[in-house]
Amino acid sequence: MGCARNDVDSEELAGRLAAQGWELTEDGESDVVVVNTCGFIDAAKKDSIDAVLAAADSGAKVVAVGCLAQRYGEDLAAQLPEAGAVLGFDDYVDISDRLDDVIAGRPLVPHKPTDRRTMLPISPVERPEAAKSLSLPGHADENLGRPASGPRVMRKRLVGGPTAPLKLASGCDRRCTFCAIPTFRGSFVSRTPEQVLDEARWLVEDGVKEVVLVSENSTSYGKDFGDVRSLEALIPRLGEIDGLERFRVAYLQPAEIRPGLLETLLGTPNAAAYLDISFQHSSASVLRRMKRFGSTDAFLALIERARVISPEVGIRTNVIVGFPGETEADLLELERFLSDGRLDAVGVFGYSDEDGTAAAGFDDKLDQSVIDERVERITAFAEELTAQRAEDRIGQIIEVLVEDIGPDYVEGRAEHQGPEVDGTTMVEGFPPGSIKIGDIVRCEVVETDGVDLIATPPIGHG
């Protein structure tokens, strides 16, 4: 359930289980079902609980892992007896033994959640050594529990196709007042460049053409190595991997995007002309209450610098509306940013209290009806603007990575379209059978459907 980071964690769990002789099933005839939950916001929590309940209906034993399980532990186990076990991240190393326990009916004591930020030193440069004694999901190739012999990468792909996420780091040191993720994901820890590159090569060997680097905060990569420019050094090395046709970096923090990093992200061969930037809002007063930095004008200046380097760069973001104390003036400022920024994709979320966050204790909360109205308003505004932005691309020559082919369609994504979260491109007009999944096809945009594009073979462009 949840984000691409959870997808990587699921594939690590699958790799561990496969190495211990477990067999993945697709027909529903399972001894045990493992649900990797999401604990981000209320809607994601509900989806995760529904998935556990649906799995229990199959008659199999059910194990809940992931962020919801880590965040609530024993409380979740008490409220969700349908789960045979609720396991935290520290159980991942011995996941095979834990499933044996569940099948045998041996009782497991759910973990008592703690603030995982307290498990590592405050100073980032002291963390790499200390992190070796922790179980960090997605870091199995570096941390405890790594078999002395076995697969080069502790990961088994659960979903095929030419695109795959690759974990760059885990945790976060930021203290955004609306976000609880650092409390259950812990402090920021980078994976080593060698392990990132090795896993990227492994993915390419498995048929992957595009890699998406994911983390809670990719722009902090390497600060625990004592080098804040580590991402700038890593990106060109990714561009040199044979067979890796394209890669992109997700989850960028605007306050940490240095000019040199921006130039590297948008100037490296095979790096997609794409920026996934977590703006969250643009009103300076709202951002201060969120314990974030920036303003409408500062963010617009960043976008302008990006477009000087790469005029057709794709830019996506998420924004939160209805934050405590948000005024009509703040909302108008956000609308100004969205209008002038000409973004390609915008996710709009209504504020909700999250356990353990500073904002949950703020005064001047807005009524839920006001939050809902603002979500509807900004969503409609963003959809109109992003559709216009898509129309601006009519006549452009784009390169589409083909991801799906049906009897009467070919679908893929251009550089400015991130997997699953952005729009797609329908490719038309090529001879039947001339395109296969994983191909990168040069096309001309001829039409749009909202944020989605329709493209055909280029005419008159050489």
Question: Among 338, 357, 392, which residue terminates a domain?
Answer: 392
pLDDT at 415: 95
Shared domain for 329 and 258, answered yes or no, is yes
Cα(372)–Cα(377) distance, rounded to whole angstroms? 9
Domain-located, residue 50: yes
Shared domain for 81 and 183, answered yes or no, is no
Shared domain for 128 and 99, answered yes or no, is no
Domain-located, residue 205: yes
Selected residue with higher pLDDT from 343 and 41: 343
38 known ligand binder:
yes
Domain-located, residue 344: yes
Decide if pLDDT at 436 tops 50: yes
Mean pLDDT of 72-77: 91
Confidence of residue 222 (pLDDT cuts 50, 70, 90): very high
Domain-located, residue 176: yes
Mean pLDDT of 207-233: 95
Selected residue with higher pLDDT from 461 and 169: 169
Question: Among 113, 137, 160, which residue terminates a domain?
Answer: 113
Mean pLDDT of 177-184: 93
443 known ligand binder:
no
Shared domain for 68 and 82, answered yes or no, is yes
Domain-located, residue 462: no
Range of 407's domain? 396-456
Helices (H), 169-271: 181-185, 193-205, 230-239, 259-267
Shared domain for 407 and 430, answered yes or no, is yes
Among 22-26, 38-42, 74-78, 435-439, name the most confident range.
Answer: 435-439
pLDDT at 135: 84
pLDDT at 144: 44
Mean pLDDT of 48-67: 89
pLDDT at 460: 60
Q: How many angstroms separate the Cα of 367 from the Cα of each of 323, 370, 442?
A: 10, 5, 49
DSSP 51-78: HHHHHHHTTSEEEEEHHHHHHHHHHHHH
Which residue, 399, 443, 394, is CA-closest to 417? 399
CATH at 434:
2.40.50.140
Question: Among 392, 411, 428, which residue terminates a domain?
Answer: 392
Shared domain for 311 and 434, answered yes or no, is no
Decide if pLDDT at 446 tops 70: yes
Shared domain for 244 and 357, answered yes or no, is yes
Shared domain for 109 and 227, answered yes or no, is no
Task: Write the CB contacts of 191 (distance below 8 Å, at least 6 apart in sequence).
Answer: 138, 139, 142, 167, 168, 169
Over residues 89-102, the pLDDT tens digits come to 999 999 999 999 99
Decide if pLDDT at 142 tops 90: no
Selected residue with higher pLDDT from 235 and 137: 235
Shared domain for 418 and 369, answered yes or no, is no
Shared domain for 382 and 413, answered yes or no, is no
Asked if residue 137 lies in contact with residue 185, where contact means CB atoms within 8 angstroms, the answer is: no
Shared domain for 305 and 432, answered yes or no, is no
Number of structural domains in the chain:
3
DSSP 387-429: HHHHHHTTT-EEEEEEEEEETTEEEEE-TT--TTTS--EEE-S
CATH at 150:
3.80.30.20
The token pair at 41 is 């916001």
Shared domain for 272 and 419, answered yes or no, is no
67 known ligand binder:
yes
Task: Write the CB contacts of 79 (distance below 8 Å, at least 6 apart in sequence).
Answer: none
Domain-located, residue 461: no
C-alpha torsion 250→253→259→261, nearest 10: -40
